């Protein structure tokens, strides 16, 4: 069973004795925090270490994926051991919020994040952001041969020429944005064209690798997969360049990674302190100087210098709290994509 506090500490063999210890040592428990983490593991580890160093609050991280954890939180209800939920994208946050399982975020935390990076209701908050891109084979395609809009990828011109990872929360968030921006009929039509035209890969890194290896001409992914690889050896992206659709195109969608506090949390002050830190100087500095290459979203907080500035991306306006993942997966299933 994945839900026990002791299992989270990775001490299954000594579970009972440790459980007894942690419930009696109340000071230790009061200064701890459990995160259900669907963000990239490396990033949340960097965040948690820096936060613990500054505050002394011990952080336990359990790793999983956006929708897997969202559904688990709904199942667990009031018994969830999670204090904080961190996601890669907004739809999983919207799912949990739809069941009224979030504690409102403190106003001084919300005030640190501009309105476009958080839901209007303040039940969770954006902690980082990522841009949709068309990662293309620069040895085959030049600027003038690139799609002007993400919608072009569903036209006959692009048959058999591009890739994506449809099973991932990253891609499903993009489809969610398309649905909000263009409506159901246009989205169904696009998904139908996608099914005809694209090749499925499991994971965005794998899709980018396929572009790099000349197996496909482009992939619809997020920007940081490229920058992360470039910062290492660049071996999976040396033939790759990024195309930003801009122009408020659905393909210029900027997805918000969310942070929320569970209404059932027994450590609300620590959870509030963590999200305040995450959206403030400390957490945003990790985005700027670390190796995640995700965008900072804090007011007046700069992103990593290697990135195209967020303000230049001309992203479409999308309300994160109404991104509807259930509808998206239904439509993708109907189109034969899942
Ligand atoms: Fe990702």
How large is the average pLDDT for residues 161-181? 98
pLDDT at residue number 7: 29
Band the pLDDT of 124: cuts 50, 70, 90: very high
Q: CA-CA distances (angstroms) from residue 285 to 53, 277, 281? A: 15, 10, 6
Distance 222 CA to ligand 1 centre (A): 7
Rg (CA), the chain: 20
Q: Which of 73, 77, 79 is nearest to 93 (CA)?
A: 73
Asked if 132 contacts 245 with a C-beta cutoff of 8 angstroms, the reply is: yes
Averaged pLDDT for residues 151-155: 98
- Which H or E element spans position 318? none
What's the 207 CA to ligand 1 centre distance in angstroms? 12
DSSP conformation letters of 17-86: HHHHHHHH-HHHHHTEEEEEE-S-HHHHHHHHHHHHHHH--EEEEEE--HHHHHHHHHHHGGG---SEEE
Position 144 scores a pLDDT of: 96
Distance CA(129)–CA(97), nearest Å, equals 19
With contact defined as beta carbons under 8 Å apart, do 132 and 226 qualify? no
For residue 15, pLDDT beyond 60: no
Q: What spacing in Å lies between the alpha carbon of 280 and ligand 1's midpoint?
A: 22
Burial class (CB in 10 A: 0-12, 13-18, 19+), 16: exposed
State pLDDT tens for residues 216-229.
Answer: 999 999 999 999 99
Q: Are 95 and 66 contacting, i.e. CB atoms less than 8 angstroms apart?
A: no
- CA 223 to centroid of ligand 1, rounded, Å: 9
Please tell me the distance between residue 170's alpha carbon and the centre of ligand 1 in angstroms.
6
Q: Report residue 101's pLDDT band, with 50, 70 and 90 as the boundaries.
A: very high
Domains of the chain and CATH, by start: 4-128+254-308 (3.40.190.10), 130-252+319-334 (3.40.190.10)
Q: Are strands 32-37 and 84-86 parallel, antiparallel or unpaired?
A: parallel
Average the pLDDT over 138-152 and give the result.
97
CA–centroid distance, residue 23 to ligand 1 (Å): 36
Q: How far is the CA of 168 from the centre of ligand 1 (A)?
A: 8
Q: Round the average pLDDT of the chain to a whole number and report it.
A: 92
Convert the pLDDT of each residue in 291-308 to its tens digit.
999 999 999 999 999 999
Where does the chain have alpha helices with state H? 5-8, 15-24, 26-30, 41-55, 66-76, 90-98, 107-110, 169-182, 184-197, 204-212, 224-231, 268-279, 281-289, 325-334
Q: How far is the CA of 250 from the centre of ligand 1 (A)?
A: 18
The whole-model pTM stands at 0.90
CA dist 328 → 63, 148, 179, 332 (Å): 24, 24, 8, 6
Q: How far is the CA of 26 from the centre of ligand 1 (A)?
A: 37
């Amino acid at each position: 069973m994945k839900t026990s506090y002791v299992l989270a500490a990775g001490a299954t063999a000594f579970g009972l004795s440790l459980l007894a210890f942690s419930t009696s040592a109340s000071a230790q428990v009061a200064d701890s925090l459990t995160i259900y983490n669907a963000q990239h593991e490396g990033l949340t580890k960097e965040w948690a270490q820096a936060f613990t160093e500054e505050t002394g609050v011990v952080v336990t991280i359990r790793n999983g994926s956006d929708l897997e954890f969202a559904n688990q939180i709904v199942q667990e209800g009031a018994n969830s051991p999670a204090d904080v939920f961190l996601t890669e994208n907004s739809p999983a946050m919207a799912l949990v919020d739809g069941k009224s399982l979030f504690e409102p975020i403190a106003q001084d935390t919300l005030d640190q994040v501009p309105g476009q990076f958080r839901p209007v209701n303040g039940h969770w908050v954006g902690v980082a952001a990522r841009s949709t891109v068309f990662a293309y084979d620069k040895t085959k395609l030049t600027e003038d041969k690139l799609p002007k809009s993400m919608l072009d990828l569903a036209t006959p011109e692009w048959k058999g020429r591009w890739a994506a990872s449809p099973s991932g929360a990253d891609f499903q968030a993009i489809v969610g944005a398309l649905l909000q921006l263009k409506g159901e009929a246009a989205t169904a039509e696009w998904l139908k064209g996608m099914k005809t035209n694209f090749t499925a890969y499991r994971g965005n890194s794998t899709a980018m690798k396929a572009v790099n290896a000349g197996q496909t001409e482009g992939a619809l992914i997020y920007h940081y997969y490229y920058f992360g690889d470039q910062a290492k050896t660049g071996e999976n992206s040396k033939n790759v360049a990024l195309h930003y659709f801009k122009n408020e195109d659905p393909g210029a969608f900027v997805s918000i990674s969310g942070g929320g506090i569970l209404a059932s949390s027994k450590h609300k002050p620590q959870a509030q302190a963590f999200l305040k830190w995450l959206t403030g100087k400390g957490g945003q500095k990790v985005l700027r100087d670390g190796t995640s290459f995700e965008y900072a979203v804090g007011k007046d907080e700069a992103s990593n210098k290697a990135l195209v500035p967020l303000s230049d991306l001309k992203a479409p306006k999308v309300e994160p709290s109404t991104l509807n993942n259930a509808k998206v997966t239904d439509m993708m299933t109907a189109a034969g994509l899942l």
